[in-house]
């Protein structure tokens, strides 16, 4: 059974940093593109970043480019999102999602809440 388990969320002050993790199991992690998608309170879904199978290619939404860094450790089946210079607009539930070529996202984690506030 595919499982994606996010962790690392919490309350952080504006300008602060946070590192999210997504532990994957139930599939061959190194063979799949992964993404982070977020959802601000009461708002819709927003894709923010993706990473290729090897980690050699990364993609970002313009609003997080230069502040967020996606990475992965295929030896530990874990996806990461390093977030810096956080603002209130980054407050959201952050989901990791498994991407299948031709099929888009087929599995999602349960999400982790990031709250940016003083």
Partner 1 sequence: DIQMTQSPSSLSASVGDRVTITCRASEGIVNYLAWFQQKPGKAPKSLIYAASSLHSGVPSRFSGSGGGTHFTLTISSLQPEDFATYYCQQYKSYPFTFGPGTKVDIK
Task: Using CB under 8 A, list all residues that contact partner 1.
Answer: 35, 37, 44-47, 50, 59-62, 95, 99, 102-111
Q: Which is nearer to partner 1, 103 or 118 (CB)?
A: 103
96 CB burial (10 A radius; 0-12, 13-18, 19+): buried
Q: Which is nearer to partner 1, 54 or 118 (CB)?
A: 54
Q: Which is nearer to partner 1, 13 or 25 (CB)?
A: 25
Q: How far is the CB of 84 from partner 1 (least distance, A)?
A: 19
Torsional sign, CA 92, 68, 8, 75: positive
Rounded Cα–Cα distance for residues 50 and 4 (Å):
15
């Amino acid at each position: 059974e595919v499982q994606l388990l996010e962790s690392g969320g919490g309350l952080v002050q504006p300008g602060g940093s946070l590192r999210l993790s997504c532990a994957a199991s139930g599939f061959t992690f190194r063979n799949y593109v992964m993404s982070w998608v977020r959802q601000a309170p009461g708002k819709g879904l927003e894709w923010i970043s993706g990473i290729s199978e090897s980690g050699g290619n990364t993609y970002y939404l313009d609003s997080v480019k230069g502040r967020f860094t996606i990475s992965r450790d295929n030896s530990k089946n874990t996806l990461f999102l390093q977030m810096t210079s956080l603002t209130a607009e980054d407050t959201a539930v952050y989901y990791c999602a498994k991407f299948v070529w031709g099929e888009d996202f087929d599995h999602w984690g349960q999400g982790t809440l990031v709250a940016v506030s003083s």
